[in-house]
Structure 1
Amino acid sequence: MVTLGIEAFLDADRGRVSPTVGLVTNPSGVTADLESTIDLLNGSDAVDLEALFGPTHGIRGNEHSQDEITEHIDEKTGLPVYDLTSQGTGRNGGPNGTTVEQIANLDRLIYDIQEVGTRFSTFARVLGRVLAEAAKADTPVTVLDRPNPIAPFGSAGTLAGQPGGAALPIVHGMTVGELGRYFANEMALDADLSIVEMERWSRDRWFDDLELTWVPPSPNMPSLDTALVYPGTCLFEATTLSEGRGTTNPFELIGAPWVDATAFAAMLNDIDPPGVKFRPAYFTPMFSKHERSDVEGVQVHVLDRETFDPIRVGVTMVLTAFYEYAECGWVRTNGGYPIDELTGGSELRTATADVRNGANLRMTIDHVVEGWEREAAQFLEENAEYLLYD
């Protein structure tokens, strides 16, 4: 059985000094026995836990992503909870509302959040910000490592920058500890970073091979099935179709009120990307896009992980939706098109215009996917110095 970073940390002999620490975590910070990292550190003689830092959805997972998590006292522990997600910077330039002083007053920051293996995840961005602000505060950071749940996919998809310029492919293939090492170097941070490594984990293992229980790191990541499709279906966040937020199957359900579920599923199944089947689906999002509207679309069912390619499936679904439905469009903001930020370029947006103007759908899918594959093909090999596991 895999030994997680939190378990190795608690087992280690760290001497008699109990440093004051802050903990960046959420509900996914648990041991294999589902004991909370918050509770374990709060009750440990090895550290003096003085503060908690809440990423998206908060330390207890009960905040909506669009809510500002204001500074407050955690009722269970009596510890102050600081915000890592509100818009803008804190009064002293901390990561989105957390001040450098809050970090500088600590001997160490500890980070324990389950990553989902995809660049789009907010937790990868949180880790980068934490490392940057801890470096400014001259506060060491310890990352308690956890499995990459979709590691067998390797790396795939377009390369795009993270805060500070550390580029990642859509599917990055790294554990959270490896990401920390990569960010610290690529962002040129003078960070005092240590990783508590896992034991008996390897890159060829899916999360459900590990005898571990999936604890959702986000309300929109309820299962490993979600994590498998998320690298591709997250692209729909930048479209006028629902990506399933507000349902029990976010990122597995894709649709809109103007979609014909049976026809859309038939088109996708006719294209037949490997390892997947599309089922006609009917749903009503309780919030987010098309809130409380009757929606038709598809549910993505992964039948064979070994042949399933989430990037190809996502590109196939997006291009097919734009090809078939004139109502399908891109979300626009004052800054332009969010899809260009998600993918690191305008290739997919341009390709949707091409298929609407008569370009061959299947050939366009292949062109986009093959171009993105070339971008990510050597990512893990070129960054082997940051990897901790085979």
Structure 2
Amino acid sequence: MKLGNENAFKDSYKALWKGARIGVVTNYTGVNKIFDRTIDRLIAGGANVTKLFAPEHGFYGVGRAGEHISREVDKKTGIEIESLYGEKRSMDVDLLEDIDVLIMEFQDVGARFYTYISTMFNVMETANQAGIPLVILDRPNPLGGTLIEGGGVDERYRSFVGDYDLPIRHGMTIGELAILYKYENNLDVELNIVKLEGWRREWYFSDTKLDWVPPSQNIPTFETSILYPGTAFIEGTNLSEGRGTTMPFQWIGAPWINGEEWSDALNILDIPGITFRPVMFKPTLSKHKNVTVEGVQIHVIDQRLVRPTEIGLHIIDQARRLYPNDFDWIKTEDDYFVDLIWGTSRYRHEFNQGRLVSEISQEWQEYASGFRKRREPYLLYT
């Protein structure tokens, strides 16, 4: 298998930016199989890279979730890095005054609410406005390209963790998502996708034989990414999702949880592909900072059987049933955060009224089935 950044140096693609002033939207995940940075290879090949842009977590990935990132400078090349996740989470068109073409590359995790794709959509809009071509160096979806899970996003609840109406687990590469967004929004931007070579839709990241470069601090392993589309739901509750530990999105707990009791209740459900184990941990940041909590660790037994969105629903459901006086939803300034993650407030209300996980999951799968047909014209790989 070849990454987009490996195919990008063929003469047919190099012609897209030869002699142009180039802006690159990327971060530390923009590397090839042997960890050579794409921007270094561009410069070594004579490309005129004049400016860099970085998404959430910053160019070097040191920013925490939601932390505003200031302007940086690449230590190796001395090139200025504009943050696309600072006080503003967008690319202003005036930043492109001295740029002729944009190149974009970063490793996505395959979940709608991971903000890199929101940044991509914004860059597409800005490139369209500026009349600048955009070249995307495609990378694999680590969760594969066949399974689709989760509901969509109501217009009222669009946000940077749900910028467009997509299922939670969309099963598309960033290149495919860009094509879908361009045509569904009638953008005139000149979009060029440097395709993967040899990638198959049924492949998970472990099938690619690539080494995992964490897309952010809290997705440290490929196994984390398998669970993330469901365990990220925990961010909208007063349960710890394991931030501030070595096992984010795999250790879940709270001070008022009995780990043995909760683990038993979840294992009785016999959820395919995983098992739960009682744990104790002490987060060093975020919720329940410096407090010893009890909870569960989710162990992936068979990655191909894992349906993370259903797992996330079951975790919340059992916590509410066992600890109704302690469990709560987290409210931001304007909204409950889980509403932004789920793309609607309806499921939070239905949870409160006792709706079954199986009913919500079935509704989500009906949406996913519709999306499967909707995405078909934009797929690049079989």
3-state SS of 1:159 partner: coil
3-state SS of 1:168 partner: coil
Distance 1:247 1:107 in 2: 43
3-state SS of 1:376 partner: helix
3-state SS of 1:156 partner: coil
Superposed displacement of residue 224, structure 1: 0.9
The corresponding residue for 1:92 is: none
1:206 paired residue among 180, 197, 204: 204
The corresponding residue for 2:336 is: 337
Superposed displacement of residue 62, structure 1: 1.7
Distance 1:289 1:151 in 2: 31
Superposed displacement of residue 336, structure 1: 2.2
What residue identity is the alignment partner of 1:251?
A: F
Superposed displacement of residue 166, structure 1: 3.4
Q: Is the 8 A contact 2:145 2:173 kept in 1?
A: no
Distance 1:17 1:334 in 2: 47
3-state SS of 1:160 partner: coil
The corresponding residue for 1:127 is: 120
Query: Residues 309 and 17 of structure 1: is their aligned pair in 2 closer, same or farther, counting only changes over 3 Å?
Result: closer
Distance 1:116 1:8 in 2: 21
Deviations 1:111-163 (A, max 9, x none): 10011110010111111111111111111110000001102552110011666
State whether structure 2 residue 173 is matched by structure 1 residue 175: yes
What residue identity is the alignment partner of 2:370?
A: Q
Q: Is the 8 A contact 2:180 2:378 kept in 1?
A: yes
Q: Structure 1 stretches of 5 or more lacking a match?
A: 90-94
Q: Is the 8 A contact 2:145 2:172 kept in 1?
A: no
Deviations 1:184-218 (A, max 9, x none): 12233221111000100010101111111110111
What residue identity is the alignment partner of 1:151?
A: G
Distance 2:61 2:252 in 1: 24
The corresponding residue for 2:297 is: 299
TM-score by length of 1: 0.92
State whether structure 2 residue 155 is matched by structure 1 residue 157: no
The corresponding residue for 1:382 is: 374
What residue identity is the alignment partner of 1:31?
A: N
Deviations 1:303-327 (A, max 9, x none): 1123221111111111111111121
Superposed displacement of residue 7, structure 1: 0.4
Distance 1:252 1:373 in 2: 24
3-state SS of 2:317 partner: helix
What residue identity is the alignment partner of 1:243?
A: E
What residue identity is the alignment partner of 1:128?
A: F
Percent identity, please.
37
Deviations 1:16-44 (A, max 9, x none): 93211111111111101111112222322
The corresponding residue for 2:9 is: 10
- Output aligned runs, 1:221-370, within 5 Å: 221-325=219-323, 326-355=325-354, 364-370=356-362
Distance 1:56 1:288 in 2: 17
Q: Is the 8 A contact 1:347 1:368 kept in 2?
A: no
Superposed displacement of residue 79, structure 1: 0.3
- Output aligned runs, 1:10-49, within 5 Å: 10-13=9-12, 14-15=14-15, 17-45=18-46, 47-49=47-49
The corresponding residue for 1:64 is: 64
Q: Is the 8 A contact 2:224 2:249 kept in 1?
A: yes
Deviations 1:339-372 (A, max 9, x none): 11211223431233123xxx7xxxx111111111
3-state SS of 2:215 partner: coil
Query: Residues 108 and 282 of structure 1: is their aligned pair in 2 closer, same or farther, counting only changes over 3 Å?
Result: same
Runs of 4+ in structure 1 off by over 4 angstroms are 161-165
3-state SS of 1:381 partner: helix
Q: Is the 8 A contact 1:323 1:352 kept in 2?
A: no
Q: Structure 2 stretches of 5 or more lacking a match?
A: none
Q: Is the 8 A contact 1:118 1:170 kept in 2?
A: yes
Q: Is the 8 A contact 2:118 2:163 kept in 1?
A: no
3-state SS of 1:151 partner: coil
Superposed displacement of residue 220, structure 1: 1.0
RMSD after superposition = 1.8
Q: Is the 8 A contact 1:220 1:250 kept in 2?
A: yes
3-state SS of 1:378 partner: helix
Number of residue pairs matched by the alignment: 374
